[in-house]
Structures are given as C-alpha cells and as structure tokens.
Amino acid sequence: MSAPQNLTAVLLVVLATVAVGGYGLRSRSTPDFYVASRTVSPLRNAAAVSGEYLSAASYLGIAGLVVAYGSTMLWYGIGYTAGYLVLLVLVAAPLRRSGAYTVSDFAEARLGSLGVRRVATVFVVVIGWLYQVPQLQGAGLALHTTLGAPPWAGAVLVSAVVLVSVIAGGMRSVTLVQAFQFWLKLAALAVPAIALLLVWRGAWHPAGTSAVAAAHTAPVRDDGGHQMYSLYSLMVATFLGAMGLPHVIARFYTNPDGRGARRTTVGVLGLLGVFYLLPEVYGGLGRLFAPGLAEGNRVDTVVLLLPGRLVPGAVGQLLTAMVVAGAFAAFLSTCSGLALSVAAVLSQDVVGGDVRGFRKASAVAVVAPCAIALLLSESGVSVAHEIGLVFSVAASTFCPLLVLGIWWRRLTAPGAVSGMLVGGGSALASAVLTLLGVGGPGWTGTLLAEPAAWSVPAAFLTMVGVSLATRSRVPAGASVMLARLHVPEELVAGGVDHSAAEGDRSSRDHSRPSRHPHR
C-alpha cells in the first residue's frame, strides 16, 4: 500500500470540499444558514441526503461485517434503505409543511410545550454527538491503516474541515458539499468494485494476482440462539431509525414544499438502492479471497485493504487511493450534516438563534464530539454496530414523536416527554453499556446490544398511555395544526406557503427564526 497516493487522495478530497463549500459564502440570512432558504431542488436534495446518510457504517462497516459474519449482515443495507420508504409514507411531506427549522421547532409547535422542546433538543444533541464519534474514529482508523498516521489525526482533520464548511455557509454550503460528496463516494467505491469483479470472473488478470478462493467459515454471531432476535431488532432500528435522525430530518425543511419533500425521498431511495449494492460486493469478495482481513478488530478495514490485496502493483495502489478518497468523503459529509443539525438546535435554544449564534453553536457541535472521540479508547465494536445503536436511540425517541405527532390528534406534551424519556433513555443506556462491554454473550448482552425491539414499543406505548391519561392536555390548536400538516400547500391560502413567507421576512431583517413556525 502506497502512502503518497493515499495522502494525495485525502488532500484532494479536503481541497475539493473546501472549494465547493466556498459557494456557501453567499449565505447571509438566517434562513440561508438553517434551511438554505427552502429553495433546494428535489434532485440536489436527494443527493445531499444520500451524501450525509452514507456514513462510515455504510462505506466501511457493512462489508467488514459481511466478511466476518456472513449474509445476515446484508440486512444493514436493506434496513438503511427501507427506512426511507417508511419516512416517505409517514413523515416527509407533513414535516416540511410544518414550517419548522428543527425537530425541536416541530415538537414545540405541535404540542405547545417548552418542556417537550427542551427534551427534544437534548436528544438531538445526544444523537448527533453519538453519531459523530464513530465517524471520527473511522477517520482515524482510515488514516492509520493507509498512511500510518496517529489515530487522532483523522478526527482532527475531519473536524477542522467540517467546522470551516458549516461556519462558512450553514445549510446552503453543506447542501452543495454533500451532494458533491455523494457522487464522489459512489464513484470511488464503484470503480474499484468493478475492477475486483473482473478479477474474480477471470476477465482481467493483473500481474501478480492470485485469485484463489480461501476456505472460510463464518463464526456464529452469538452462542445462545439469539440471532433471530438480533435480526428482527436490527430491522426495527434501521427501518424506523432513519426518520429519527436529526440530520436527516433537517434536510426535508430545505425543500420548497411537501411535494418536493416526497420527490426528494423517492430520489434518495433510488440512490441508496444503487449504492448499497457495492458494500455487498466488497463483503462477498472479501469472504472469498481475504477472510483474514476481518480478524480481530480489523473489521472496518476490509474495504480499504481489499483492492491492494487482489490487485497488486500500481493499479492496486490507484484503486486503494480511490477507496480512501471515498471514505474521507463519507466522514466529511456525515459529520457536516450532524454538526449542522446540532448547531441549529443549540443556536436557537442556547445562544440566540441568529447567524452569529449559529456560528458559535457550530464550534461546540464540532469540537465536543472530536474531544470525545480523542478521549475514548477503541471499544472493539464495529462502526456499523455503533451506528446501529444510534439508530436504536433515534427510533426510540423521534420516530414515535413524529409518527404520533403527525397522525394522532390526542398526543399530549406529558405523553411525548414520557415516551422519549422511556424509549430514548433505555436505548441510550443500552448503547452505553454495550460500548463499555457490559452484558456478555447471553440474553442480557443480546438485549443490550440490540435494544430497538423492546425500546421502540416501550416508547410508543408510553406516549399513547400517558397521553390517554392526560386527555385534558391535548393542545387547543391540535386540529388546526394537523390540517396544516396534511393539506397540500396549493389548497391552503391560494397556494401561498406561509412558512416560506415567514422565512423571507426573517431573511430581510436577519431576525431569529420563530420558535412557533406555524403561528
């Protein structure tokens, strides 16, 4: 493996990210920084959503898990994609019609409670930081594996580039960067995959290649017959977790209207469906030709090392450099979206909500997870499993809040708070205990490692039960708010999008976005 080519690839990605992000210097108003003034087209938004969604877990983690554990791990890619189908059907258009800037805005607007807003804000920050930490750890692993750099170097480099992009132009800047990085990631993974498939099928014989399949028996994932439970729990987490990820939800506020949000989601389904064919290629070929790459704590290095293993020489070095470039694009795009979503809620709830406050909050949103990533030692848990735990937390908090908030008039503030605390709190505790190595191979360890199967139902049942017990707390304007969420924009007030109009007024006076966007 050649360090100069890999270093050049990383530097080119960084320079391209900064250059494309320079477009965001045109951002001046508050709506520009929060929602790109709600002017992002469905196609560009679909590429941007896909760019920020395809994180280290998708780019590095899935292939490694397939090599280590076999075809069961294919459900990660299926679940990550299918989650957008659920989002399309239940959430996308109504969420855009709410006129919110953040999920915290939606929570307060729907339930008329500052307490609900504060709880939602805490979970946005927690989920955002939990999601960023494995990205930064993955960046450190990638630089260490391909360049021999110290593990902290990747986290620091990614954090610095993300901070510049977010502070420079907020959502407008990050949207263009993420759309660009999606296509970069797709090409960087697809071209080497095609080359490896040609080697496998015998259509290409680069000098020195020894394409001989190695016998490999995948280890059993658990010893207690719990694999079926783990699979179903993984499906619940990935199917329902996408709609609870703050950085994904925030992207739907940037569409011009609800129809644009739906078109964006359909586009995302298509783009993800194409992308998730590629990690499976690396995983399958890795099991055939290089199963030893997934031994020990090296699961997440399979994609980085496989091209050089199967295609020696200069061509293999070039293919490896492409994969490294795509990996760094994955770290940068996901961390940018996460930092943006965390900065948005911190800005509104802590430091004022204007452009200056947003930039201050951005520094906290980037520096804090970087510090956590540097302080935490390696957990021994794969990146994909770490992200799966975050999906469980997201599915146990914002999924019930959004689904019931959009489709059930009798949801109350006490019910929403109780459900988020019960579901999200239990899933978060399970994630922390799993990362600390608590549980072991029995049922206790399995339930902690895959909590979604019980934490998500607990959240829904708690929200419904407490809401029914507090019927008198149903917001007075609940019916009006639900009508706003479900009636197409062209049928409301002659087709005028009041939330966009409010954003335009806000952009003229650079004032703080309203905490009650529906009013």
Cα separation, 214 vs 350, whole angstroms: 56
Per-residue confidence (pLDDT) for residue 192, from 0 to 100: 94
Q: What is the pTM of this model?
A: 0.84
Cα separation, 395 vs 211, whole angstroms: 42
Cα separation, 76 vs 67, whole angstroms: 13
Cα separation, 513 vs 497, whole angstroms: 16
Helix runs in 148-257, H state only = 151-200, 227-241, 246-252
Q: Which of 365, 339, 304, 362 is nearest to 147 (CA)?
A: 304
The CATH number that domain 3-380 falls under is: 1.20.1740.10
Per-residue confidence (pLDDT) for residue 377, from 0 to 100: 59
Q: Which of 419, 415, 428 is nearest to 399 (CA)?
A: 419
Contact 229, 450 (CB under 8 A): yes
Q: What angle do CA 440, 83, 40 make, to 5 degrees?
A: 130
Dihedral sign from CA coordinates of 138, 139, 144, 146: positive
> Residue holding tokens 């999924």?
399
- Give me the tens of pLDDT residue by residue for the chain, a chain 519 residues long: 567 888 899 999 988 888 876 665 555 555 655 555 666 778 888 888 898 888 888 888 888 888 888 888 888 888 899 888 888 888 888 888 887 777 888 999 999 999 999 999 999 999 999 999 989 988 988 888 888 888 889 899 999 988 887 777 667 677 888 888 899 999 999 999 999 998 887 766 665 555 444 444 444 444 445 788 988 999 999 999 988 888 887 777 777 777 887 888 889 899 999 999 999 999 999 888 887 777 765 788 889 989 988 888 888 899 999 999 999 999 988 898 888 888 888 887 887 667 778 788 889 999 999 998 888 756 566 788 888 899 999 999 999 999 999 999 999 999 999 999 999 999 999 998 988 878 777 888 889 999 999 999 999 999 999 999 999 999 988 999 999 888 876 665 544 444 433 443 333 333 344 444 443
DSSP strand E in 50-161: where? none
Helix runs in 355-451, H state only = 355-375, 383-407, 413-435, 443-449
Per-residue confidence (pLDDT) for residue 217, from 0 to 100: 45
Longest dimension (CA), the chain: 76
Q: Which of 38, 124, 78 is nearest to 401 (CA)?
A: 124
Q: In whole angstroms, how large is the CA radius of gyration of the chain?
A: 22
Give the length of the chain: 519
Is residue 214 classed exposed, middle or buried when 0-12, 13-18 and 19+ CB atoms within 10 A define those classes?
exposed
Contact 206, 69 (CB under 8 A): no
Q: What tokens does 118 get?
A: 């504060």
Phi, psi for residue 112 in degrees, rounded to 5:
60, 40
Q: Which of 134, 10, 16, 51 is nearest to 340 (CA)?
A: 51
Per-residue confidence (pLDDT) for residue 417, from 0 to 100: 97
Is residue 247 classed exposed, middle or buried when 0-12, 13-18 and 19+ CB atoms within 10 A define those classes?
buried
Number of neighbouring beta carbons within 10 Å of residue 261: 25
Per-residue confidence (pLDDT) for residue 408, from 0 to 100: 95
**In the chain, domain spans:** 3-380
Per-residue confidence (pLDDT) for residue 495, from 0 to 100: 47
Cα separation, 249 vs 356, whole angstroms: 23
SS (H, E, C) 317-330: HHHHHHHHHHHHHH
Per-residue confidence (pLDDT) for residue 424, from 0 to 100: 95
Is residue 470 classed exposed, middle or buried when 0-12, 13-18 and 19+ CB atoms within 10 A define those classes?
middle
Per-residue confidence (pLDDT) for residue 517, from 0 to 100: 40
* Amino acid (one-letter) located at 314: A
Cα separation, 300 vs 65, whole angstroms: 8
